[in-house]
Amino acid sequence: MKVYLVGGAVRDKLLGYPTNEYDYVVVGATPEQMQAQGFTPVGKDFPVFLHPETKDEYALARTERKTGHGYQGFTFDTSTEVTLEEDLGRRDITINAIAQLDNGELVDPYNGQNDIDRRVLRHVSEAFREDPVRVLRIARFASRYHHLGFTIAKETKALMGTMVASGEVAHLVSERVWKEFSRALGERSPHVFLEVLHECGALKVIMPQIDHLISLHTSEQPPQLSPPALRALNYACSISDKSTVRLATLLHDLDKQNATANPMGKPSPELVELTELAGKLMIPNEYRELCSLVIRFHKYVDRALSLLAEDILDLLTKTDSLRRPERFKDLLTTCKSYAVGTEKLKERKYKQERYLLEALEVISTVNPQALLAQGFSGKALGDAIAKQRIEKLEEFKSQQ
């Protein structure tokens, strides 16, 4: 029985890149032998075990055979006869197909080190085409290592396009799409993830709403410029590490598809696009909420400096800013990201963020308890609170 460190830990060590992935492959062992040594089985599709102390994952070396569509359409062979080279041969890209022994010796049968040196993401074998998740993974790696100069090999790009054309990508399940997309949103360059998927045609299949955002401006932009949604996303990454803010910035432009004039906060056709996308990918509520706020209120945030006191209060109230100030700050960060990222405004000229945060502080000084003590209740109490808040906002506006 031999144990090798594999995958991300080896790859990132060679790149000098931080990692918290420590996965191992075990060659020549049976599940019974692993459990006898104190390992806990956790794998459903194939034998994976947790180390009794470190809790790192140890998987038995395996080969696989395609039996159906999607990433679940495989049967596995995890017998003791499976070699390390066979196990590495079924991995996605060459830089992930390097193994390391305890003494530091590397096993690199598919020239992953050479591709690291050349900064190339290349599929290991034609088996790449059998798992559509690999299209998402290579796009994510492209976004992670974009700043290091990595590009996707031409033959791998061609293979990805073939997988889309064959219909294999259409069998991706929502959970896996969101898992890879959400991880990409946390990388340095998530716009690259979307660009890669757009270029190979996968984005149109799995996230047509976002693909439309990108396609909407492609013909209008000079070749050296990305679509506005991606430029905004790129800027958002420079000022916020929150994936919620990054996604909301990307989806800011959904209303360009259904431009309509709606009263503040009323449901609009663009929210149908968000609901459809969120439902399809099962996007968590915290993401949905911020995206919805941005779509509904970004036009009013952008016009904040010219709004009447009543309208400012309406905006602060409908965004639930007093009870959820952090989410409100995220809304403002998102609106700023779009305005500055698309070069509609210079950063120093985007004063709406500070202005609305100060307005929020102003209305928070109104004390409902004091009004209760004066005998106000019910609707009269609400009217009195609103009246005082508007008066304070008018005073605030006069001082600007």
| CA dihedral over 161, 149, 243, 12, signed as positive or negative | positive
- 110: tokens are 């598919």
Residue ranges covered by each domain of the chain: 1-117, 119-206, 228-364, 365-400
pLDDT in tens, the chain (400 residues): 899 999 899 999 999 988 888 899 999 999 999 999 999 999 666 789 999 999 999 999 988 765 555 455 456 678 888 999 999 998 999 999 999 999 999 999 999 999 999 999 999 999 899 899 999 999 999 999 999 999 999 999 999 999 999 999 998 989 999 999 999 999 999 999 999 999 999 999 999 989 988 876 555 554 445 788 899 999 999 999 999 999 999 998 775 544 444 555 555 555 777 778 888 888 999 999 999 999 999 999 999 999 999 999 999 999 999 999 999 999 999 999 999 998 877 888 899 999 999 999 999 999 988 988 888 888 999 899 999 999 999 999 999 8
Give the integer Cα–Cα distance in Å for 59 and 50: 9
Return the residue matching tokens 């017998």: 79
The fold adopted by the segment(s) 1-117 is Beta Polymerase; domain 2 (3.30.460)
CB atoms within 10 A of CB 264: 13
CB 210 within 8 A of CB 203: yes
* CA dist 399 → 240, 332, 358, 396 (Å): 31, 22, 12, 5
Contacts of 191 (CB under 8 A, 6+ apart): 143, 226, 230, 231, 233, 234, 237
pLDDT score for 145: 96
Task: Give the angle subtended at the CA of 178 by the CAs of 174 and 180, to the nearest 5°.
Answer: 120
Amino acid in position 211: D
- 393: tokens are 């906002």
Give the integer Cα–Cα distance in Å for 69 and 47: 22
Amino acid in position 327: R
Look up the pTM and report it.
Answer: 0.87
Give the integer Cα–Cα distance in Å for 393 and 222: 44
* CA dist 341 → 24, 194, 195, 349 (Å): 42, 17, 17, 13
CATH class held by domain 119-206: mainly alpha
Give the integer Cα–Cα distance in Å for 244 and 337: 13
